[in-house]
Structure 1
Amino acid sequence: MELENYQKELNKILKGCDICKAKMCNFCPNGKRKKFLKEKIKKLSSPKKFF
């Protein structure tokens, strides 16, 4: 459930980024949010291994 919410939010941001002409992601708050969301999605989607 939480993973789906992160993916939906990331998709919304990516649609805006496709429209953006500035392409200054380092300064854009959406760029920082994208990075955070991608990390969360990667963490939640990766299988956890216990040894």
Structure 2
Amino acid sequence: MGIKVGINGFGRIGRIVMRNAIEHGDLDVVAINDPFIPLDYMVRRDRASVYAILC
């Protein structure tokens, strides 16, 4: 259980923070806010990042 954080913007830096949170497990991402990116795109990008980490 890590520090609870919210990501404001899912651009380059937001994706890096999310990727590091998944890899290291020290952050608990509880919310992602980006009004310009649809939810299905965020989920697809998240799955691609997780897939790349697992392989």
Q: Whose radius of gyration is greater, 1 or 2?
A: 1
Same fold (TM over 0.5): no
More helix by share: 1
Structure showing greater relative contact order (alpha-carbon pairs closer than 8 Å, 6 or more residues apart): 1
Q: TM-score range by the shorter chain?
A: 0.3 to 0.5
TM-score, structure 1 normalization:
0.36
